[in-house]
Amino acid sequence: MGSTKNSTKNIRRGNLMKVAKCGVKRVPGYLYYIDKNGNIARVKMARGGAKGQKSKPEIVKELNLKREPEYLFYIDKDGDVSSVKMARGGKKGAKRKRTKKAKKVKKVKKVKKAKKAKKAKKAKKAVKKGKKVAKKAKKKGRK
């Protein structure tokens, strides 16, 4: 996984793996992270008001970790460096299933709309027919 000077054996728990036991004690008000060189660094957290004032990161523990592209490295609650395999691409076929279902729903809605339109057309026809019948009856009544 990651090679370090002061790491013990990689301890695996499911997907998680402890890469290096450091035991970093966190101080409130600081953000701890693994920098691009693979060292544990910290920087003072920005709080409202002071714009443009950036504090320089300070290295807490030098590890020189070698990162692997498909893994996420982070500092866990014990202050040790751990890694976990990143989820990339999601579930296979999930998107396809979702689109099929969406298409089916659209089709059902379209059919329902068409049926409604057909009923409305029939009702209009019946109303027109009723008016014609009423006119004919009126004409007969006059004669």
- Per-residue pLDDT tens over the stretch 108-125: 888 888 888 888 888 888
Verify that 98 and 77 share a domain, yes or no: no
pLDDT digits (tens, 9 = 90+) for 62-92: 999 999 888 999 999 999 999 998 888 766 6
Q: Is residue 4 part of a domain?
A: no
Banded pLDDT at 26 (limits 50, 70, 90): very high
pLDDT interval class at 35 (50, 70, 90)? very high
Share of the chain above pLDDT 90, in %: 36
Query: 117 and 63 in one domain?
Result: no
Q: What is the pLDDT of residue 34?
A: 96
Token pair 């004409």 in the structure block, residue:
139
Q: Tell me if 2 is assigned to some domain.
A: no
Q: Is 6 part of any domain?
A: no
CB distance 9 to 20 below 8 Å:
no
Number of CB atoms found within 10 A of residue 42's CB:
21
Domain coverage including residue 62: 11-85
Answer with the one of 64, 85, 106 that is the final residue of a domain: 85
Kindly give the residue spans of alpha helices, DSSP state H, lying in the chain.
94-142
Cα dihedral 75, 81, 84, 87, rounded to 10, equals: 40
pTM (2 d.p.): 0.53
The number of distinct structural domains making up the chain is: 2
- What would the two tokens of residue 108 be? 């059902």
What pLDDT, on the 0 to 100 scale, is given for residue 7? 46
Q: Do the Cβ atoms of 85 and 75 come closer than 8 Å?
A: no
Q: Name the token pair of 78.
A: 């014990």
d(CA 41, CA 19): 16
Beta bridge partners of residue 84, listed in sequence order: 16, 72
Residue 18, pLDDT above cutoff 60: yes
21 & 72 share domain: yes
Are 94 and 81 part of one and the same domain?
Answer: no
65 and 97 in a common domain: no
Report pLDDT for 135. Answer: 65
Residue 20 counted as domain residue:
yes
